[in-house]
Structures are given as structure tokens and as C-alpha cells.
């Protein structure tokens, strides 16, 4: 079965520090990979996605992620965290197979930001 692993349940960083959230996925021939962010009481908002091509993907709010096929990873990074980045982050994987509609989500990483 497909799986997406986010090893860190909760991360705390200081405002202005750099951030890296880890995501590993089970192997898929051509994975579609996503990072979503969820603020408390809100729905999920897409930060960025990888389908193919350049393995370094830029997203909204200054986030980027790097696809590493050899490590089955798609880690999310931000060089300088802002207090407003405190939220829960979800990595998700889809497959390119015809008729495949299901995204598999990781269990999420909650980010706390210390002023």
C-alpha cells in the first residue's frame, strides 16, 4: 500500500530561523507530490506541488521543496520562518495511473514558532 511518512509530529522553531519539514513516500513510478498547510479551524491550502521536471519546486509564502527520487523524499524548506507560519503541514502523494484519484496524506507535522 502507498504510504507517506512525516517523521516529525511537532517541530518548534524560533522566528527568523530556517525550517525543514521531512516527507518520505513509498515508491511510485511517477509520483505527484504536494505540500498543504492547514491553519487552526481552516481547510487545507496548497503550498506547492511536484509533477515532473526541475526537482526544486517553489511555492507560495516563500516555501520550497526538493524532490529526491533516490531518497524517496520531498522535504519542505523555508529560509526564515515568520510567526504566521505556525500551522500544520501535510505532505501528500498521488499516482499518475489512469483512473487514480486518491491522494495519500501523511499524518502531518505541527509547526510552532517562538517569537
Partner 1 sequence: NAGVTQTPKFQVLKTGQSMTLQCAQDMNHNSMYWYRQDPGMGLRLIYYSASEGTTDKGEVPNGYNVSRLNKREFSLRLESAAPSQTSVYFCASSEFGGSGNTIYFGEGSWLTVV
**Interface residue list for partner 1 (CB under 8 A):** 4, 9, 32, 34, 36, 41-46, 49, 51, 90, 92, 94-96, 98-103, 105-108
Annotate 8-19 with three-state secondary structure: CCEEEEECCCCE
CB of 112 to partner 1, least distance (A): 16
What gap in Å lies between CA 46 and CA 36, rounded to an integer? Answer: 4
- Tell me whether residue 46 or residue 56 sits nearer to partner 1 (CB atom): 46
Cell of 77: 524548506
Closest to partner 1 by CB, 2 vs 73, is: 2
> Residue 15 or residue 73: which is nearer to partner 1 going by CB?
73
Nearest-approach distance from CB 58 to partner 1, in angstroms? 15
Q: Cα-flanking dihedrals φ and ψ of residue 84, to 5°?
A: -70, -5
User: Quick one: how far is CA 77 from the chain centroid?
Assistant: 9
For the CB of residue 11, give the shortest distance to partner 1 in the complex, in Å. 15
**What are residue 66's DSSP bridge partners?**
56, 75
Amino acid at each position: 500500500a502507498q504510504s507517506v511518512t512525516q517523521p516529525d509530529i511537532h517541530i518548534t522553531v524560533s522566528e527568523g530561523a530556517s525550517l525543514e519539514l521531512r516527507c518520505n513516500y513509498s515508491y511510485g513510478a511517477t509520483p505527484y507530490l504536494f505540500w498543504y498547510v492547514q491553519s487552526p479551524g481552516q481547510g487545507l491550502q496548497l503550498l506547492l506541488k511536484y509533477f515532473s521536471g526541475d526537482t526544486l519546486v517553489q511555492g507560495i509564502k516563500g516555501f520550497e521543496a526538493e524532490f529526491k527520487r533516490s531518497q524517496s523524499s520531498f522535504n519542505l524548506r523555508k529560509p526564515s520562518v515568520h510567526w504566521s507560519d505556525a500551522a500544520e503541514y501535510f505532505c501528500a502523494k498521488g499516482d499518475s495511473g489512469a483512473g487514480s484519484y486518491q491522494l495519500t496524506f501523511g499524518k502531518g507535522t505541527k509547526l510552532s514558532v517562538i517569537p
